[in-house]
Amino acid sequence: MMKIIKLLCLILLVNVVIQGCRSTSTTTRKPADKTTAEMRFREDILTEAQKYKGTAYKYAGKSPKGFDCSGFTYYVFSKFDISLSGSSSAQSKQGKEITASKAQAGDLLFFGRNGRNGKIQHVGIVYRNDKDGLFMIHSSSKRGIVIDNVTTSTYWKPKLLYARTVVALQDK
């Protein structure tokens, strides 16, 4: 009988110690906020886009066998159930226009000649936009899928018209 009492006391003591070590906080973990979810989603878009670095340019190409500029954006975004038109001109009317200085990874950049009155001639995906410049991943007719710094490019910088965002947070 004494052994049982000692055992029960020991169990009670261990239980008190364990309960005392448990956190008394009743806070629950909050789901990630929209900003974190958006950043993760944008990173996922770039991860997908980077898979095709080095893929050859192909006129009207919309597959990993070869891409033109709008075919590349069309294909990458389709992997995330974002439906883009097949041409850069039509894509330039989708989503919400933003200034290039506010563009974030995963946004689209549009290029042309003769300012806003000219024809859209190229589209790329913002790779990053930071102190080192505005970078895009895109399909170059001579180099295939590459990453270029628009800010330091004497070719791309004067042709940059604007950016658009097509990333819809409410569904992601």
**Architecture category of domain 33-171 in CATH:** Alpha-Beta Complex (3.90)
What is the predicted pLDDT for the residue at 3? 62
What is the predicted pLDDT for the residue at 47? 98
Mean pLDDT per block of 10 residues along the chain (172 residues) reads 55 54 42 77 98 98 98 98 96 96 97 81 97 98 98 97 82 46
What is the predicted pLDDT for the residue at 55? 98
What is the predicted pLDDT for the residue at 16? 52
SS3 sequence, 15-80? Answer: HHHHHHHCCCCCCCCCCCCHHHHHHHHHHHHHHHHHCCCCCCECCCCEECCEECHHHHHHHHHHCC
If you compute the radius of gyration of the chain from its CA atoms, what whole number of angstroms results? 26
What is the predicted pLDDT for the residue at 61? 97
What is the predicted pLDDT for the residue at 25? 39
Q: Which residues pair with 149 in a beta bridge?
A: 135
What is the predicted pLDDT for the residue at 63? 97
CA 142, 155, 103 angle in degrees (round to 5)? Answer: 100
pTM: 0.78
Cα(148)–Cα(162) distance, rounded to whole angstroms?
A: 16
What is the predicted pLDDT for the residue at 32? 52
What is the predicted pLDDT for the residue at 28? 41
The domain spans of the chain are 33-171
What is the predicted pLDDT for the residue at 18? 53
